[in-house]
Amino acid sequence: MLTRREILLGTSAAVVSLVARSAIAEPVLTAEGLYSEPWFLQSFLDLRNDLEEATKKGKRLAIMWSLKGCPYCKETHVVNFGDQAIVDYVRAHFEILQLNYIGSLPVTDFDGQSLSEKDLARKNNVRFTPTFQFFSEPKTPNDKVSEVARLPGYIEPQHFLAMFRFVKQRAYDLMTFGQFVKNGGT
């Protein structure tokens, strides 16, 4: 919606403002009560296949753990994914699979084990929502997949984007996320 000032001024800035606001897709509320993005990965919940498909596209795989009623999950969608620069970067370099922290859907883990979302969260020591898990890129089919970075809880947009850059650049091989941010996080 345009502001009163933009309407009264009737400038091209008003049109630009309206176009910019409509460019970002609004988060959707799923049947499970989770806020989600329409561009998130639609999956058969086999993490091995999801990682393989992401890798074929030249992207990294991340899991976003969410919970119905979680105010910080909503904040992540409304504020962080409400920023077009963040959305553009994440969509260009990542596939995000959203899982329900207390969900009962069966998920096949990287090791072939089938368990519920809730049990997978427990297996991976996920304690907060939202939590983003980022995974390694196996070089051969026999390489073990591991978590290379984790973002537990909500953080402000600039640091949120920095975490995705940290993973994309594989900076975790050289430094901690804190060092990355301190060094400019770009």
Q: What CA–CA distance (Å, rounded) separates 138 from 31?
A: 34
Given this model, what pLDDT does residue 142 score? 80
Q: Which helix (H) or strand (E) holds 16?
A: helix 12-23
Q: How confident is the model at residue 18 (pLDDT cuts 50, 70, 90)?
A: very low
Note the pLDDT of residue 61. 98
Distance of alpha carbon 174 from the chain centroid: 23
Report, as an integer, the average pLDDT of 78-98. 97
* pLDDT higher at 4 or 132: 132
Q: Answer yes or no: is pLDDT of 97 > 70.
A: yes
State the pairing for strand pair 60-66/131-135.
antiparallel
pLDDT bin (cut points 50, 70, 90) of residue 68 is: very high
pTM of the shown model: 0.85
Query: Is residue 97 classed as helix, strand or coil in its secondary structure?
Result: strand
Length of the chain: 186
> Minimal CA–CA distance to 114: which of 48, 167, 172?
48
What counts of helices (H) and strands (E) characterise the chain?
8, 8
Helical ranges in 63-171 per DSSP H: 71-75, 84-93, 117-123, 157-168
- pLDDT by residue (tens digit) across 148-171? 999 999 999 999 999 999 999 999
pLDDT at 184: 87
pLDDT score of 137: 87
User: φ, ψ for residue 16 (rounded to 5)?
Assistant: -60, -45
